[in-house]
Structure 1
Amino acid sequence: MKQFVYFLGIGGIGMSALARWFQANGHTVAGYDKTSTPLTEALAAEGIAVHYDDAVTSIPEAVRANREQTLVVLTPAIPKDHQEWAWLRENGYDIRKRSQVLGVLTQGHRTIAVAGTHGKTTTSSMVAHLLHHAGIPCAAFLGGISVNLGSNLLLPHPPTPSPAGEGKSSGENRLAPPLPQDVAHLASVELGGGVPIVVEADEYDRSFLTLHPDIAIVTSTDADHLDIYGNKEALVESFRQFVGQIQPGGTLIINHTADASVAAAVPAGVRVIRYGLTAEQGPELYATNITAQGHQFRFALHGPQGTVDNLELAVPGYHNVENMLAAACVAQLEGVNSEKLQAGVAAYSGVKRRFEFIVTAGTSEQPKVYVDDYAHHPREIEAFLRSLRALYPGRQLRVVFQPHLFTRTRDFAPGFAESLSLADEVVLMDIYPARELPLEGVTSELILSQITAPKKSLQSADKILANAGTDSNFDVLATVGAGDIDKLVPDLKNILHIRWNEAQA
């Protein structure tokens, strides 16, 4: 068993879940990330050493002195000229991609994998919550911070950390039997038994092809990550490969909008359940009696596992009703009865930055609302804004959007413009580059020029904050994007809370 686990890019949402897993199971964990964030600060508070300068001397001495006892976990976001990565490669360290480690941790064990170009984080968090709330021990590696769990990691039973290197834990619900010998050093707690493992299956860099699930959900197969795939056909082919790895006797739950060739690629004997919002769309799993009341959506579920009436979802959005249909079907397959399912759906509180209400003020007739959302694909934005419109008909909607990646902006500028044009006013920020270098001619103006909303502009963060405090030409504000736009949220919250509540007093 390897004692030390060192993460390059430890602040990533998927990487941090793995870091927490190893830390909880008695390993000595440390890592590098580019900048400090609330998530890296939380890891540090949990006892994980994190640094932010790319320097070999910043790698913990114990890692540098114990090559044979160290596993290095790498995110694809780390640039090829990274000094620490180069040194670790040159010195023969065992370096694995995050997806490889996740694949090893789930090998030979009951796995529920949630894939899709959008919707997978919310849906996987729903699955984990429903099972956990129903009292079914499960593990979960999530791509967002579950509000219910307060984390991106769920352990079936918190293990008692053992002395470093012993690789044992106590507790009757710990995960058992051992991993295959050639990869056993990757985990100090055995995964398996009857404990399901919920995993967000990421299509980026074809990461999800390390998984061999018993149950798979595919929420969508829309074009994305064309910097990796080149075209949509290659992306769809990767989904075909993914569902082709479902275990014999397993189940695929797939959105009716997904490319038809994906469902056709399942192995013989794998059950396919298609889902959609309404019966008119032709799926076997669908909802009826959908009503929006305040922030709640109420509906009934109909599917192959039976009907469940009177479901109340406190996280709004028609797309979230659709996500819950798939998650609830998994819960039914895992033995959750209707009564526990109703209670679990009602108790679900969502994921940070997924339709997250930051400020609510005003009256029921004239509400004032600020919502933050992670949407960064045209279809996600369209679903989010249509749901906002349904909740607040006739209210003036301002959307602040930060495009994520130069390649995604280049590939989907018309789609972004069309979806954002559902708002009364659109404010664009500069593109968040993440792992990419600038592309000639690709700026936020590419989207701005095609937006048909009545008002549109390109603004800096400072100007957005200033306008929020002085401009009263909006009732509903939404900040949207996957970059660092969330840094605006605390300041906007304070500004609007004071302003709207003073106006109401």
Structure 2
Amino acid sequence: MAKDRIYFVGIGGIGMSALARYFRHEGWQVAGYDRTPSPLTAELEKEGIAVHYEDSAAAIPEAFREASRTRVVYTPAVPHDHAELNWFLGRGFEVLKRSRMLGLLGEGKNVMAVAGTHGKTTTTTMVAHFNAVAAGEGSAFLGGISKNFDSNLVLGAGRRMAVEADEFDRSFLQLHPKEAVVTSVDPDHLDIYGTYEAVREAFSQFAAQIRPEGTLILKKGIDLPLDRKDIRQYTYHVNDTDADFRAENLSVDEGGYYTFDLVFPDRRVAGCRLGIPGLVNVENCVAAAALVWCEGFRSDEALREAIATFRGVRRRFDFWVNDPRRPAGTIYMDDYAHHPAELRAMLTSVRKMFPRRELTVAFQPHLYTRTRDFAPEFAEVLSLADRVLLLPIYPAREEPIPGVTSEMIFEGVTAPYKKLIPKERLMDEVEALPAGGVLVTAGAGDIDRFCVSVAEIVRRKNG
């Protein structure tokens, strides 16, 4: 009997939930486990997918206990002693990592992959939107919730398939893309890789898996050892005139929205205006447009329309309060940044957008290992702000490491105002902020669960 049921261990993850939605759409019976309820699991349950939150083999629904009919997909973030995962492994079920399943779905498709230690979610989502609007086709598996599609899954006609190529646990090595862009290769996930050189080697291996006659597009300045004569290689940059893909004639309005010309190897698309603010997003746009150029688009006007109508990704440079009718009011933005390089790119862009406003950052460090490995870098970047509110570490999949706390970062912060606070004090600190500045909440943990409340306070204070 053919398999028609699929069970997800860790179904609430952003990549896992996209796969769950895909199989639900394809007619499979879908269920899964996650550690805690979240907005994502609530959406899955609304869509008819059964989710439970107790790690117990007894909690696995009866329909998914038959190996001949059930596939099991798990995320590497699940611990090795997970009871449900081990129940499946011990009974001969077909058990696949999320990345392996994504690789299987990419077979027979023109996979357009975006890799990088930061920038990949927004760039991948742009690729999906540009494909849909400027080319009229394409599917996508996204690492965030697209505001245009209101989903992390895009189901469209044609062979194009945009995917976020995740370096965590070397997951991206399951992909064999036709085209790939690499946005950044910074030291990260050193708990997995051990050394920065191992990170670079993994990215080189990913690039080496591009299909013959395919295309690699590197952010200018990235040096990856790669011996491939059978693929095209290009560079991109936000404004470096030596890059093959770039933006020129940039101008910015008071809201931080940029107008520019997109320069390709064979053409110039003048007068593009990106639908979301921030210089960092212009660079993401250049990378995304470069990937779409490889597969083609209908016309320059269609691409301009795609760029203008892009609405962004939840938790990526995500403005909750930015009312031009109240120029003296506080601006509030939320961002997923959780690595020093991401934080620097984000804060630098915010500074350029609002150079005369006081900048406050409420930051929640993500992972004990990342805090241990990059505490001085985090402190240096956070010091770009005028005010720093530092929350405790969000552990995610990790157990505490003795001596590793947010204080490691806090001690090195040189901002004029800094405060170490528990999450429960965040609302009080927002209430006490002076009017007219920019407030940013940042981190990859659960700080986003405060966004609605923070936005309500800011709007009330703005009047």
Place the TM-score, normalised by the shorter chain, in its bin: over 0.9
- C-alpha separation in 2, matches of 1:288 and 1:364: 31
Determine if contact 1:461/1:488 at 8 Å carries over to the other structure. no
Which residues of 2 match residues 60-459 of structure 1 at below 5 A? Answer: 60-64=61-65, 66-156=66-156, 173=157, 194-258=158-222, 260=223, 262=224, 264-265=225-226, 267-280=228-241, 282-293=242-253, 294-336=255-297, 337-361=299-323, 365-459=327-421
Residues 319-367 of structure 1 show CA distances to partners (whole Å, capped at 9, x for unaligned) of 1111100111222222212111100000000000001111124756534
Q: Which amino acid is 1:9 matched to?
A: G
Determine if contact 1:398/1:474 at 8 Å carries over to the other structure. no
Instruction: Indicate the residue corresponding to 1:180 in structure 2.
Output: none
Determine if contact 2:329/2:435 at 8 Å carries over to the other structure. no
Cα separation, partners in 2 of 1:196 and 1:316, compared to 1, 3 Å: same
Instruction: Indicate the residue corresponding to 1:477 in structure 2.
Output: 439
Using the aligned pairs only, state the percent identity: 49
Please report the TM-score for the alignment, with normalisation by the length of structure 1: 0.89
Q: Which amino acid is 2:294 matched to?
A: L
Residues 353-410 of structure 1 show CA distances to partners (whole Å, capped at 9, x for unaligned) of 0011111247565342000000011111111111111111121111000000011111
How many residue pairs are counted as aligned between the two chains?
Answer: 460
- C-alpha separation in 1, matches of 2:75 and 2:67: 19
Shift of 1:291: 1.6
Determine if contact 1:425/1:453 at 8 Å carries over to the other structure. yes
Determine if contact 2:329/2:462 at 8 Å carries over to the other structure. no
Unaligned 5+ segments in structure 2 are: none
Shift of 1:109: 2.2
Residues 191-233 of structure 1 show CA distances to partners (whole Å, capped at 9, x for unaligned) of xxx5211111001100000111110010000111000000110
Q: SS of the counterpart of 1:81?
A: coil
- C-alpha separation in 1, matches of 2:43 and 2:402: 38
- C-alpha separation in 2, matches of 1:471 and 1:142: 35
Residues 29-56 of structure 1 show CA distances to partners (whole Å, capped at 9, x for unaligned) of 0000000001000000000000001111
Determine if contact 2:180/2:291 at 8 Å carries over to the other structure. no
Q: Which amino acid is 1:77 matched to?
A: A
In angstroms, what is the RMSD of aligned CA positions? Answer: 1.4
Residues 120-139 of structure 1 show CA distances to partners (whole Å, capped at 9, x for unaligned) of 10000000000101242211
- C-alpha separation in 2, matches of 1:367 and 1:465: 18
Determine if contact 1:311/1:342 at 8 Å carries over to the other structure. yes
- C-alpha separation in 2, matches of 1:222 and 1:238: 12
Determine if contact 1:220/1:257 at 8 Å carries over to the other structure. no
- C-alpha separation in 2, matches of 1:141 and 1:386: 29
- C-alpha separation in 1, matches of 2:419 and 2:227: 47
1:33 equivalent in alignment to 2:37? no
Residues 276-314 of structure 1 show CA distances to partners (whole Å, capped at 9, x for unaligned) of 12235x312111111221231111111213111111012
Instruction: Indicate the residue corresponding to 2:425 in structure 1.
Output: 463
Unaligned 5+ segments in structure 1 are: 157-172, 174-193
Determine if contact 1:117/1:220 at 8 Å carries over to the other structure. yes
Instruction: Indicate the residue corresponding to 1:492 in structure 2.
Output: 454
